[in-house]
Chains A and B, each alone.
Chain A
Amino acid sequence: MSTMTFLEALREGMSIRMRTDPNVVLFGEDVGAFGGCFGVSAGMFAEFGAERVRDTPISEGAIVGCAVGAAATGLRPIAELMFCDFLTVGMDQLVNQAAKMRYMFGGKISMPMVLRLPAGAGTGAAAQHSQSLEAWVTHVPGLKVVYPSSPQDALGLMLAAIDDDNPVVFFEHKLLLGVKGEVDSKEPIPIGKGKVVREGKDVSIITYGKQVYDSLAVAEALAKEGVEVEVVDLRSLYPLDKDLIGETIAKTHKAVIVTEAVKRGGYGGEISAIIAEEFFDQLDAPIVRVGGLNTPVPFSPVLEQYFIPNDKDIMQAVRSVL
């Protein structure tokens, strides 16, 4: 057992595979000697060299497209975009190329690539460097999407993402990079499996990423009042662990869905619809969603904090269904 930060776990996951598989390469803006914008790849350039830990020009279309071409020809590339927001620039290559190649070529081309996207608000970086755009990619058949919250899951899902023969979009919330946690296992964690991170019987909070921590804090606070909140960390957004969602609803009969992404058109809506369609009979209260404000992410700290759903918002949502 060892303690690692989320960032170290990401690095360890990539490095484990790079040590044994020469086809695994990492590229992106400043991932080389500079160590990545957030330091995730620090030291990897020294260990694996400039050929396999490769700085790219500021060319998001070519970065994502390069991953597509490399994956189609036998590498297992990991591409990093400096901020999830920059996916807009490389979107064609992800959506029209990576996601569709296997299908439109009749299963003949494999697409084992990982696209890492540092996401989320809370760093004072304003509207173009703070978004949570996971709903854009969960909408696209052909992509898998993961969003870990703990160092253990970051490492295990990174291994699974690299091993996967499909394009995996890997969200890394920037405020989680420094979070420390125990890492007991260096084995892959299956994509598509969520986890109950706190058991409870009164209400289920279904969430992922940074909101797992906010939700746990709310659960802790409510426990003092005798309310037992179950917190489900989805970990993977696609495939989605519907079985686990069904199990938790069957147990608590109440669902609060928490995302940092703006509520409108967000993935929380999809989760909510699935619960309504498939587990309606189990529900004892309306489904409640908590999301970011339906605005761009503002700059000034007070405004930004108002944008981000916080423990009070979650608390209020939970209370509304008790």
Chain B
Amino acid sequence: MAIAKDLMRDLYKQMRLIREFESAAQRLFASGKIPGFVHLYIGEEAIAPAVCACLTDEDYITSTHRGHGHVLAKGADIKLMMAELFGKATGYCKGKGGSMHIADRDKGILGANGIVGAGHCISCGAGLSIKVKGTDQVCVCFFGDGSTNQGTFHESLNMASIWKLPIVFVCENNHYGISMSQDRHQAIKDIADRGASYNIPGISVDGNDPLAVYEAASEAVRRAREGKGPTLLECKTYRQRGHFEGDPGTYKPKEEQAGWLSKDPLPLFAAFLVENNVLTQDEIKAIDDSALAEIEAAIEFADAQPIPEVESAVVDVYSDIIEEVRSR
């Protein structure tokens, strides 16, 4: 598959932007600027940009607790995201959602999600909407290997298959469900094998190679748009950090971590782009610098935003005003 140079450059730009966003989130969480929990996408950046490159704003995604990369790749505003992580009134969710609950209906982002396996079912609903309305949209459901042991995984892939819903189930197999390694939490190696249970294609690719992901996702999205039903696309990757920031990840063998760090998608793809004359070393540096600047601007923006008025806590529980919601 011939992939245009412009697209390759865009993929690298997005991967770098996500890496810088996550590195900043890591730093800001450690310094106490970001409250709550953060689950970082570091090491998995090749996947969401490549998958979302196959989508338009009209298409939907469902995401996970590790969702920053998904929503950025789907076009979320980086400043509003940072403001939300800071808990600010002008953040994406007005300070009500935080890291795990970024959504943007205009960009088709149906929300990051704090419940492992919940997005599978929601993607079926989006798929049903598309089918009933007769459009050629698709929904991409991002999830990790851990969630493939939830009942919702089975219920949803079965439902999507029998109804031929336009969904691409993208499993980011980062080899850990919290502290439990994949070989301990399930008895299979290739999650893509489970596609056979639902009579849908199950494809496994190197999730640290954005071009491999793009190629497989393009085909899966095409199938979905043509009404041929869902695909299970497994992208093998690695969670370089702990499950959440603050988890030192001591359960990960050192050799395993080192092996995967040597396959970090960012330097690998940068080297590939230079070797294949897509970008020069200077151009790579310019992209890296610009990503950093964009993140710095987002932090500056978020810092300057107001914190929510406490009265706003009672807003948006319902679409209409119910007096009782205002009382304690």
* Cβ of B64 under 8 Å from chain A: no
Question: Which of A35-43, A52-60, A116-124, A257-265 makes up part of the contact surface?
Answer: A52-60
* Cβ of A250 under 8 Å from chain B: no
| Count of chain B residues near A, Cβ 8 A | 51
- Given A69-B62, A106-B96, do A75 and B128 touch, yes or no (CB 8 Å)? yes
- Contacting residues, chain B, for A109 (C-beta < 8 A): 103, 105, 110-111
Contact status B111-A105, CB under 8 Å:
yes
Contact status A65-B133, CB under 8 Å:
no
* Cβ of A166 under 8 Å from chain B: yes
B326 → A minimal CB distance (Å): 12
Question: Which of B38-46, B151-159, B230-238, B298-306 makes up part of the contact surface?
Answer: B151-159
- Given A70-B125, A102-B319, do A51 and B118 touch, yes or no (CB 8 Å)? no
Contact status B131-A77, CB under 8 Å:
no
Contact status B129-A57, CB under 8 Å:
no
Contact status B105-A77, CB under 8 Å:
no
Contact status A92-B118, CB under 8 Å:
yes
* Cβ of A25 under 8 Å from chain B: yes
Contact status A106-B97, CB under 8 Å:
yes
B114, B124, B125 pick with most chain A CB within 10 angstroms: B125
Contact status A66-B159, CB under 8 Å:
yes
Chain B stretch 120-162: residues in CB contact (< 8 A) with chain A = 120-133, 139, 151-152, 155-156, 158-159, 162
Q: Determine the residue in chain B with the shortest Cβ distance to A98.
A: B122
A113 to B94, CA, bound (A): 24
- Identify B159's interface contact among A57, A141, A165, A166, CB under 8 A: A57
A59 to B95, CA, bound (A): 34
A251 to B271, CA, bound (A): 82
Chain A stretch 69-126: residues in CB contact (< 8 A) with chain B = 69-75, 77, 92-93, 96-97, 101-110
- Given A105-B103, A106-B94, A106-B97, do A61 and B155 touch, yes or no (CB 8 Å)? yes
B90 → A minimal CB distance (Å): 10
- Given A69-B62, A69-B126, A93-B118, do A108 and B103 touch, yes or no (CB 8 Å)? yes
Contact status B155-A57, CB under 8 Å:
yes
Contact status B125-A67, CB under 8 Å:
yes
* Cβ of A137 under 8 Å from chain B: no
* Residues of A in contact with B, size category: 35 or more
Contact status A66-B125, CB under 8 Å:
yes
Contact status B97-A104, CB under 8 Å:
yes
Contact status B121-A93, CB under 8 Å:
yes
A225 to B150, CA, bound (A): 60
Contact status A240-B324, CB under 8 Å:
yes
- Identify A62's interface contact among B126, B130, B152, CB under 8 A: B152
Contact status A74-B93, CB under 8 Å:
no
* Cβ of A68 under 8 Å from chain B: yes
Q: Determine the residue in chain B with the shortest Cβ distance to A113.
A: B125
Contact status B318-A105, CB under 8 Å:
no
Contact mask A287-322 → B, CB, 8 Å, 1/0?
000000000000000000000000000000000000
- Contacting residues, chain A, for B132 (C-beta < 8 A): 22-23, 25, 51-52, 70, 75
B39 → A minimal CB distance (Å): 16
Q: Determine the residue in chain B with the shortest Cβ distance to A108.
A: B105
Contact status A62-B124, CB under 8 Å:
yes
- Contacting residues, chain A, for B315 (C-beta < 8 A): 107
Q: Determine the residue in chain B with the shortest Cβ distance to A165.
A: B319
Q: Determine the residue in chain A with the shortest Cβ distance to B165.
A: A66
- Identify A64's interface contact among B121, B127, B158, CB under 8 A: B121
Contact status A69-B110, CB under 8 Å:
yes
* Cβ of B317 under 8 Å from chain A: yes
25 A-B pairs with CB atoms under 8 Å apart are: A25-B128, A59-B155, A61-B155, A62-B120, A62-B152, A62-B158, A65-B156, A68-B121, A69-B127, A69-B139, A72-B125, A73-B60, A73-B129, A73-B130, A92-B115, A97-B115, A97-B118, A101-B111, A105-B92, A105-B101, A106-B97, A106-B103, A141-B317, A141-B325, A240-B324
* Chain A residues in the interface with B (C-beta under 8 A): 22-23, 25, 27, 51-52, 54, 56-57, 59, 61-62, 64-75, 77, 92-93, 96-97, 101-110, 141-142, 144, 164-166, 192, 239-240, 242
- In the complex, besides A106-B91, A109-B103, 13 extra interface pairs with C-beta distance below 8 angstroms are A52-B132, A69-B122, A96-B118, A97-B113, A102-B316, A103-B317, A104-B111, A105-B111, A106-B95, A108-B93, A164-B319, A165-B319, A192-B322
Listed from nearest, the 6 A-B pairs whose CB atoms lie closest are A69-B125, A65-B121, A106-B93, A107-B316, A62-B155, A59-B155
